Amino acid sequence: MTAEPRRTIVFTLPPKRDWKKPKRKRDGRLPRVARLMALAIRFEELLGGGTVKDFADLARLGRVTRARISQIMALLNLAPDLQERILFLTPVVTKQEEISERSLRTVVDESCWTQQRRLFAEIERIKRATTPYVPERGGS
């Protein structure tokens, strides 16, 4: 029996810093209601441009119910300044900090923009009052 010749494989790995992206410091995540508001605006563009025919088409594409599409699209009934405030909500760390789409349904059902602003301010006040203090993370 003869011994098989040894095979040597040589390869060079790049330094770690070259292939690994630097980690971004995350201060939280975008609130879900902000994403839903952006989605409602996008859905409105798709409907207006004729890309989709109706809410049923959106529901099929998104694999959700037509009722859920209606709930998302109802966010467009908010006063324009409230829509903007929702789109630019600060990132949240905990679920308790978040304003939910469900809590906004009473605001959306109100047709008077002045009343909507008052109700939204009340929701924000309640959220601030019930949000537990979370110390900031960070290096010293």
Q: Which tens digit of pLDDT belongs to each residue from 90-107?
A: 999 888 889 999 999 999
Q: How confident is the model at residue 16 (pLDDT cuts 50, 70, 90)?
A: low
- Whether residue 73 is contained in a domain is answered as yes
Per-residue pLDDT at 18: 47
Q: Give domain status of residue 101, yes or no.
A: yes
In sequence order, what DSSP letters do the residues of the chain get, joined into one string? -PPPPP------PPPHHHHSPPPPPP--B--HHHHHHHHHHHHHHHHHTTSS-SHHHHHHHHTS-HHHHHHHHGGGGS-HHHHHHHHTPPPBSSGGGPPPHHHHHHHHH---HHHHHHHHHHHHHHHHHHPPP-PPP---
Parent domain of 47:
29-130
Q: Is residue 16 included in any domain, yes or no?
A: no
Q: How many domains does the chain have?
A: 1
Quick check: is 99 in a domain?
yes
Does 64 map to a domain? yes
Per the domain annotation, does 139 fall within a domain?
no
**Residue 61 covered by a domain:** yes
Residue 133 has pLDDT above 60, yes or no: no
What is the pLDDT averaged over residues 28-42? 96
Tell me the per-residue pLDDT of 67-78, one tens digit each, with 9 for 90 and over: 999 999 999 999
Examine residue 60 and state whether it is found in any structural domain, yes or no: yes
Task: Look at residue 134 in the predicted model and tell me its pLDDT.
Answer: 52
